[in-house]
Structure 1
């Protein structure tokens, strides 16, 4: 379980790294879990344009919830037109890496010129991408060896 102090410290650290690499035009929170981290980063970076898209892999709430075979996308049109934008995709946790990879595809399809990712916690027990998380993701807040419960979730 992570507490708010840990989450805000992670947001501040990621924001500092992002700022050093150029503040993005738009933040995209991956719903549901990435919404709160996206807003925290938006405030820390002074970015007013925040969008959200629902890309889900888990089929229920709770520790070790069952996952669908592939990320399910709802309302990709909520991204709007991102033509030429520098976009930061934000999510609370990356397990297999499939959800963030699918979201990056959606953002590129919406026209983004540059796409970076910020993940608050990577669950390395579930990581399935060919490259390690540090190569596949732009900014990583922390690494965990199992399920993570965030303060906005019910344990």
Structure 2
């Protein structure tokens, strides 16, 4: 697991602007390079699409796939969680047999979405599965392992809801 040191932001609602997102993606790409560039990126839709495309350019990867796995009922701040992650069209992953795969999402809260996606990627045949999130919300983490042990690359840690630049034009950044 790699996490950027001294990257914890305070509680409440965190508004991330593009410069901060670019910094997080740059840091994640550097950490991934150290461990070996994967063959395929899998974006968790919708939030993971933007960071996955940014990472694909930084890592020089053209094989970017996507799967929709959601754990909230809507896009509102502090949205209600579904009892378990909901997957739409897992066949969109295609055949991942023998591939080194990096799953990318914007935020990890409970850890359930990443766990469900990792299982889908494994079921599709991936030989190595890693995960990267721009932000870890430790207030919601309920995964079996501590967040730092369950997610391979974490850009930053927060305590509370995160609003990403593609979700808001707010001028405040933490």
Give the aligned partner of residue 147 of structure 1: 161
Asked if 1:38 corresponds to 2:52, the answer is: yes
Structure 1, residues 101-134: CA drift from partner, whole Å, max 9, x if none?
0000000000000000001100000000122111
Give the aligned partner of residue 53 of structure 1: 67
Q: Distance in 2 between matches of 1:88 and 1:130?
A: 20
Give the aligned partner of residue 110 of structure 2: 96
Give the aligned partner of residue 148 of structure 2: 134
Relative to the length of structure 2, the TM-score reads 0.88
**SS at 2:141 equivalent:** coil
Instruction: Output the aligned Cα RMSD.
Output: 0.8
Give the aligned partner of residue 9 of structure 1: 23
Describe how 1:10-25 pairs up with structure 2 within 5 A.
10-25=24-39
Off by >2 Å, runs of 4+ in structure 1: none
From 128, 131, 153, give the equivalent of 1:117.
131
**SS at 1:54 equivalent:** strand
**SS at 2:68 equivalent:** strand
**SS at 1:19 equivalent:** helix
Q: Distance in 2 between matches of 1:132 and 1:67?
A: 20
**SS at 2:162 equivalent:** coil
Give the aligned partner of residue 78 of structure 2: 64
Long gaps (5+) in structure 2: 1-14
Give the aligned partner of residue 12 of structure 2: none
**SS at 2:71 equivalent:** strand
Count of aligned positions: 155
Q: Which has the higher contact order (CA 8 A, sep 6+)?
A: 2
